[in-house]
A and B are shown apart, each in its own frame.
Chain A
Amino acid sequence: MTEERGGASTGSEPVGMRPPALAVEKVSHRFGRFQALRDVSFTVERGAFAALLGVNGAGKTTLFSLITRLYDSTSGRIEVAGFDARRQPGEALARLGVVFQSKALDGDLTLRQNLGYHAALHGIGGRAARVRIAEVLALVGLAERGGLKVNALSGGQQRRAEIARALLHRPELLLLDEATAGLDLRSRAEVQALVRRLIAEEGVSTLWATHVFDEVDPADEVVILHRGAVIAVGVAAEIAGSGTLAERFLAMTGETAEAIAG
């Protein structure tokens, strides 16, 4: 299952259907001499939960920065729901919800005030905003907490609140960058379960970047990124073969077990 330039992540190409939630085509990026990404290609189909797996420094954050237009890709093409991120950035960004590794909510403001601000950033105001905020709070199980200051929420609740924020404008693709970083085991499991439920209920496609191999289910689509290049694309169980995904990864890269421990 190890593909050189993994074209599609699933075996069946839907013909004549809506474009995939995310299409990354031969994207390369360099910072000065450092080649951060090399010919990265993969797709995330509609309604899929895809994991972007790689150790720290593999290029996950760089790739996310390119998809979210923090900086421009130097080569290749990125399409969000069929919209070219470079030529139609507004359209692409409107279909994208992002949960960053770092906290985006203002701790001194209440959850509802925060969500009001972020709804406004997507042009949702007034009654429509109030209705949608109540909806997303219910979705992530924080309906009772809207009036609390974000700092008063637990770590796991804050992460769920960030996910609620990312869902405000009904994105078609949800990007999560190390969404469970710094959480205890129980909160990790909760956040994971929440995202998987959202895919089912909201129909949003997800690209979940992580360095934690345990967060990947055998049935998940996986894109393994290593030193800026895609080294495997496919269903986790198939890539793993007879062993575990982590074992397979170590065998493919020659990395030591410490590399994936953190």
Chain B
Amino acid sequence: MRAGWSIAFAGITRREALRFANQRERFLAALVRPLVWLFIFAAGFRSVLGLSITPPYQTYVLYEVYVTPGLCGMILLFSGMQSSLSMVYDRETGAMRTLLVSPYPRWFLLGSKLVASVLVSVLQVYAFLVIAWFWGVEAPLVGYVTVLPALILAGIMLGSLGLLISSAIRQLENFAGVMNFVIFPMFFASTALYPLWRMRDSSILLHDICAYNPFTHAVELIRFALYGQFNPLAFAVVTGCTLVFFGATIFMYDPAKGLWRGRRGGAQ
């Protein structure tokens, strides 16, 4: 059985990759979104927003440079929510059920699916970073290596949040609902677009919300890693949230409790 685990994981990853290769439109859409922010929004904001020197930056940076790690987070956030929602649709079809009747434990199956879809979205982030490079957003070369584990960890956190949301709240099965109630609040109330100290100027409450938002820490983890630095607080928060979100998801998918219990007809 042990050897089978790696076969199962490889099979799940291969399927994600094949589906990804079949959906080039989705890839482009996922790339266009952050690029619009980078090319248009950031250019417009550049003159409005002054940034002081905050770590990990050692000099004044252009707004484009500041916003790039946030936009990496945005890609992970969108695709994390999207792939989790696709798991809900899978539940409607037989695809989810066949995954769950595999003899491997559910935490392993769900985890494999999660990691596989994160790997695919990390590719999208790198494609974005390449384009940003030509746009003049250049991080130190080593940063492109050190950012990889940060992207994977942040992606897993956001993906397991998506899984949890999609398993817990049936009303959020359409993407518009998730956009309004999850993606937008998480994205805007974070350090993706403006640094924390800027928030404090306008509202203490907003500052506190941003400081507690897990997405803020995902973005900061990526931001520091992109400059070859390690942010222990962000790492701790992201790791802790991943464990909580994923643990709760496993609970929801446990046949004895959570999701399927008390729901007539289950996945019909």
Contact = CB atoms under 8 A, between A and B. Distances in A.
Interface stretch (A3-11, A103-111, A209-217): A103-111
Contacts of A197: none
A72 interface: yes
Interface residues of A, number: 41
A120 interface: yes
A117 B7 contact: no
Interface in A101-127: 101-104, 106, 108-109, 113, 116-126
A52 interface: no
A61 interface: yes
A116 B18 CA distance: 12
A125 B11 contact: yes
Contact of A90 (B22, B92, B105, B264): B105
B198 interface: no
B166 to A, nearest CB: 17
B3 A123 contact: yes
Interface stretch (B131-139, B208-216, B255-263): B255-263
Contact of A70 (B12, B23, B266): B266
Interface stretch (A43-51, A91-99, A138-146, A246-254): A91-99
Interface string B4-15: 110110111011
A71 B255 contact: yes
Given A71-B266, A98-B98, A104 B255 contact: no
A71 B7 contact: no
B104 interface: yes
B141 to A, nearest CB: 36
B40 interface: no
Interface of A: 31-32, 34, 36, 61-62, 65, 68-72, 89-91, 93-94, 96, 98, 100-104, 106, 108-109, 113, 116-126, 162, 165
Give 7 nearest A-B pairs by CB, closest first: A120-B11, A123-B4, A104-B94, A125-B7, A100-B94, A71-B260, A94-B103
